[in-house]
Chains A and B, each alone.
Chain A
Amino acid sequence: MHEHIITPRHRLLDIDLKGLWRYRDLYVMYIKRDIATKYKQTILGPLWYVVQPLLTTIMYMFVFGRLAGISTDGAPQPLFYFAGILLWNYFSETFNLCSDVFTANAHVFGKVYFPRLVVPLSSATSNLLKMFIQLCLFICIYIYYIITLPAGTLSINWSILLFPFLVLLLAFHAIGWGLIFTSLSTKYRDLKILVQFGIQLFMYATPVVYPLSAAPEKYHDIIALNPLTPIFEAFKYSALSCGSLDWTGLLYSAIFMLIVLFISVVVFSKTERDFMDTV
């Protein structure tokens, strides 16, 4: 048997890694729940996972491509927008779920203890599976363009190997920011309202629907400050040969992510101890 002590005091970095490992089956159950229950009792079922980005791409082609006439740096419009949406959807959905962990799960957290980090981690993972389905569609469109376009217009370069790393970077950015926001919004609901529209606006501060090169010179540096910028640029560079592969940018993004992640875990573990009193 193991002796436990519950006290008002706590350490700064109080993550229960052993506990997380012990609850790995719960992590799997949460992933299963996220995926299996989302489209239950719908006719299209998991097809919705691809319908949504497809329609969004068509809409972006119309609004940003036709009406606004923003350049795609030579890449075919559908691929360019789809690539942006693929990553952005993953980021924003993971962030949204994580930033609502405490309030959305208050009924469960208030009744039983388990390491709370299980929930945001499983959300990030189930979104990963969803992104994988969308990636398959992306590859289909990609193959179509390779066949129809003259050879050499579209080529993959070696940097595609960075893709898993880019996704991981994006995932931990989303988790980190999400955890910070959910921890603070247990007490101050203002943040929840801010997040709802803030994330929509943030998309325009990230090169999702435009290439960084299309931004006017004076805004260029500001957009480059956004730690997500190098990730989106690198992906478009490796798959569509537009954008740029900026190593310093990626390093900056990674360091930024580690700092945010550290702060978020500290704040989260402090909050999870008594958020039930304020939520």
Chain B
Amino acid sequence: MSIAIEFDNVGKMYRLGRVGTGTLSHDLNRWWQTSVLGKDDPYLKIGQTNDRTTKGESDYVWALRDISFKVEQGEVLGIIGKNGAGKSTLLKLLSNITTPTTGCIHYNGRIASLLEVGTGFHPEFTGRENIYMNGSIMGMTKQEITRKLDEIVDFAGVERYLDTPVKRYSSGMTVRLGFAVAAFLEPEILVVDEVLTVGDAEFQKKALGKIQDVSQGQGRTVLFVSHNMASVRSLCSRGIVLHNGTQIFNGYANDAVDTYAAQCNVVERNLITENILQKMDYLSDLRISFNGTEQSETTILGNQQTVELRIEGYTSVPVDVAAKVIFKTLSGTPIMSYAEGRCTGILEHLEGHFSFVRHICLPQYHAQGDYLIDICMHKPSVLDYFYAKDCAIVHMQPSDSIHGYALKLSHEGAFSMLSQK
């Protein structure tokens, strides 16, 4: 396989704050130092990593730093990371919209970037005229567009409005039209940035399918930025994770998504009780411990069969309660739960100072991985006494298996079924 894109130590620095009177003096100083004295750019050295939450000392930050990776032809590379991680900057560098401060990028073939759909649409132009306008901005020739016009119109589903100015279109229709034009570009490299978040479910499915066709059917390389982990998993073969402008992971897409999810779900509050979202006023002095700890991070060992849930506190009103613990993947999909109230209908009567303890049996073959849990005390279908969402992260170690293979959450799911003896 040949290399389609190669990033070699790419960095991009931005100046923070207002561009104003300071600019001229910095420019003059930079020009003096680099052109006249032949030194390095004085402002490049003091750039800092791009952590937007802390105050830095320098006016310059690295939006991207030391990014190096290769993409083979025909691969679909997912780029994920939190807001401000540098994803869009990376795509802008590749699309030639702005240049890197350091390093270089090599690529083979024509690049079409879909950083936005419908770039260059003019509201007064009709749908047909805008297809030509947008297509030629994307680098298609008039002939190419004419040849594909029917397909584009059909894909967008706007036949009836083709000769109506785009300003009369609904926003959904505009997006569909824009994406349709882009979908029929035939570049060797397609760069897609989060454009599918608009449009209805049917169209999103269609658009994702189209991207899949482009990469698998036609052997083109795709770079895909998204916050939708499900589509990254299903579309991409490889992924890189960016964090504050640096690359923290480069590997299989599934593992990249897990890395990102773990990074996002670092439970910042230390105690389980600090994660309580809502609570009845008559409950007080709550202490919750899970697996023997009140901390919001715990490890369940491989040979462990039960896990203890202990809730203590004071209630000024007598209540009948059941407990619920929901285990979720890091991306938030619930996968198993302890729900005594729903399953067995048993409620416990609590008055004054109480201590509520359950020893929850774990499934026999549970999978190794990181889980998020919600803990809730409720009267099923009536009311929640308290609800602690994403209150702890549980590192589940592999359950003992005689064959030496541990089930993994990301591969086999949360737990495994057995056949009838």
Partner of A274, one of B27, B98, B108, B122: B98
Residue B142 is within 8 A (CB to CB) of chain A in the complex: yes
Once A7-B104, A40-B124 are accepted as A-B contacts, the answer to whether A114 and B98 lie under 8 Å apart by CB is: no
Considering the complex, give the chain A residue whose CB is closest to the CB of B141. A25
Cα A25 to Cα B145 with chains together (Å):
11
| Residues from chain B with Cβ under 8 Å of A278 in the complex | 19
Q: Are B106 and A5 in contact (CB under 8 A)?
A: yes
Partner of A113, one of B27, B105, B113: B113
CB within 8 Å of A: which B130-144 residues: 132-133, 136-142
Considering the complex, give the chain B residue whose CB is closest to the CB of A273. B99
Q: List 10 A-B contacts (CB under 8 A).
A: A7-B104, A23-B136, A25-B142, A29-B137, A37-B124, A113-B95, A113-B111, A187-B19, A274-B99, A276-B92
Once A112-B95, A188-B24, A276-B92 are accepted as A-B contacts, the answer to whether A3 and B136 lie under 8 Å apart by CB is: no
Partner of B133, one of A29, A273, A274: A29
Residue A220 is within 8 A (CB to CB) of chain B in the complex: no
Cα A111 to Cα B96 with chains together (Å):
10
Q: Are B24 and A112 in contact (CB under 8 A)?
A: no
Residue A216 is within 8 A (CB to CB) of chain B in the complex: no
Q: How far, in Å, is B192 (CB) from chain A's closest CB?
A: 13
Residue A18 is within 8 A (CB to CB) of chain B in the complex: no
Pairs of residues from A and B, 10 with the lowest C-beta to C-beta distance, nearest first: A26-B136, A113-B96, A7-B104, A6-B105, A37-B124, A25-B142, A111-B119, A111-B116, A1-B109, A40-B124
Once A33-B133, A111-B119, A277-B98 are accepted as A-B contacts, the answer to whether A6 and B104 lie under 8 Å apart by CB is: yes
Residue A142 is within 8 A (CB to CB) of chain B in the complex: no
Residue A66 is within 8 A (CB to CB) of chain B in the complex: no
State the interface size on chain A (CB cutoff 8 A). 36
Cα A204 to Cα B249 with chains together (Å):
64
Residue A164 is within 8 A (CB to CB) of chain B in the complex: no
| Residues from chain B with Cβ under 8 Å of A22 in the complex | 139, 141
CB within 8 Å of A: which B62-103 residues: 92-103
Contact mask for chain A residues 249-279; partner B; CB cutoff 8 A; 1 contact, 0 none: 0000000000000000000000001101110
Cα A37 to Cα B129 with chains together (Å):
11
Q: Are B106 and A25 in contact (CB under 8 A)?
A: no
Considering the complex, give the chain B residue whose CB is closest to the CB of A277. B98
| Residues from chain B with Cβ under 8 Å of A107 in the complex | 119
CB within 8 Å of B: which A95-113 residues: 107-113
Once A26-B136, A37-B124, A188-B24 are accepted as A-B contacts, the answer to whether A4 and B95 lie under 8 Å apart by CB is: no
| Residues from chain A with Cβ under 8 Å of B137 in the complex | 26, 29, 108, 112, 114
Partner of A5, one of B97, B98, B105: B105
| Residues from chain A with Cβ under 8 Å of B24 in the complex | 188
Q: Are A23 and B139 in contact (CB under 8 A)?
A: yes
Q: Are B101 and A8 in contact (CB under 8 A)?
A: yes
| Residues from chain A with Cβ under 8 Å of B96 in the complex | 6, 113
CB within 8 Å of B: which A1-36 residues: 1-8, 10, 22-23, 25-26, 28-29, 32-33, 36
Cα A188 to Cα B23 with chains together (Å):
9
Once A25-B142, A26-B137 are accepted as A-B contacts, the answer to whether A4 and B97 lie under 8 Å apart by CB is: no
Contact mask for chain A residues 112-138; partner B; CB cutoff 8 A; 1 contact, 0 none: 111000000000000000000000000
Q: Are B97 and A109 in contact (CB under 8 A)?
A: yes
Once A23-B136, A29-B133, A187-B23 are accepted as A-B contacts, the answer to whether A112 and B113 lie under 8 Å apart by CB is: yes
Q: How far, in Å, is A210 (CB) from chain B's closest CB?
A: 38
Residue B370 is within 8 A (CB to CB) of chain A in the complex: no
Once A113-B96, A276-B97 are accepted as A-B contacts, the answer to whether A1 and B108 lie under 8 Å apart by CB is: yes
Q: How far, in Å, is A123 (CB) from chain B's closest CB?
A: 15
Residue B115 is within 8 A (CB to CB) of chain A in the complex: yes
Q: How far, in Å, is A164 (CB) from chain B's closest CB?
A: 27
Q: How far, in Å, is B195 (CB) from chain A's closest CB?
A: 11
| Residues from chain B with Cβ under 8 Å of A2 in the complex | 108-110
Cα A40 to Cα B15 with chains together (Å):
42
| Residues from chain B with Cβ under 8 Å of A33 in the complex | 122, 125, 133
Q: Are B14 and A277 in contact (CB under 8 A)?
A: yes
Q: How far, in Å, is B146 (CB) from chain A's closest CB?
A: 10
Q: How far, in Å, is A271 (CB) from chain B's closest CB?
A: 11
Partner of A111, one of B19, B97, B133, B165: B97
Cα A229 to Cα B96 with chains together (Å):
41
Q: Are B99 and A5 in contact (CB under 8 A)?
A: no
